[in-house]
Amino acid sequence: MPITYYSSNSDIPTVTRDEEFMSMALEEARKALKKGEVPIGAVVVCEGRIIARGHNLTETLTDVTAHAELQAITAAAQYLSGKYLTNCTLYVTLEPCVMCAGAIGWAQISRIVYGASDPKRGFSRFAPKAFHPKAKISAGVLEKTCGDLLSSFFTEKRKG
Ligand SMILES: [Zn+2]
């Protein structure tokens, strides 16, 4: 999907910044897909720019904790040389699981934006208060693209 940037002579963006950053998270998800991983990707944005990226690496690293969000959070903390990501927004293609929601809370991330919902494993069912109390949550950004990428992966996997 092409990314359309703000036109300087228009106040109305054709693509919101949330969609722009979610497209970058989708790029990460596609990197996971190429490695045979469940296609989930994440980026961390600070002051309007991406400071860290991550994608699911649970198969590659043989590690159930190697979720996209945790890869991105670790990279962001390294980039900032600080463990708290207080002024950061995390974009992730799928609703974070309980484990990642815990990490997002520990990192004090101030805003979480996700694409597709995960009714089975998502935090909102099991740990709706895991985030920092002041954290803002936006759901459903590029939801269909994020969800389709996952469902086509699982359809292919069942065929194979
Ligand atoms: Zn997770």
The DSSP string of 46-100 is: ETTEEEEEEE--TTTTT-TT--HHHHHHHHHHHHHTSS--TTEEEEEEE--BHHH
Q: Distance, CA 69 to ligand 1 centroid (Å)?
A: 6
> Ligand 1 centroid to 97 CA: how many Å?
4
**Would the pLDDT of 80 be above 90?**
yes
Instruction: Read off the tokens for 74.
Output: 């670790």
Q: What is the mean pLDDT of the chain?
A: 93
Question: What pLDDT sits at residue 14?
Answer: 63
Distance 12 CA to ligand 1 centre (A): 34
Cβ–Cβ under 8 Å, residues 109 and 80: no
So what's the pLDDT on residue 15? 78
Query: Which residues carry out catalysis?
Result: 69
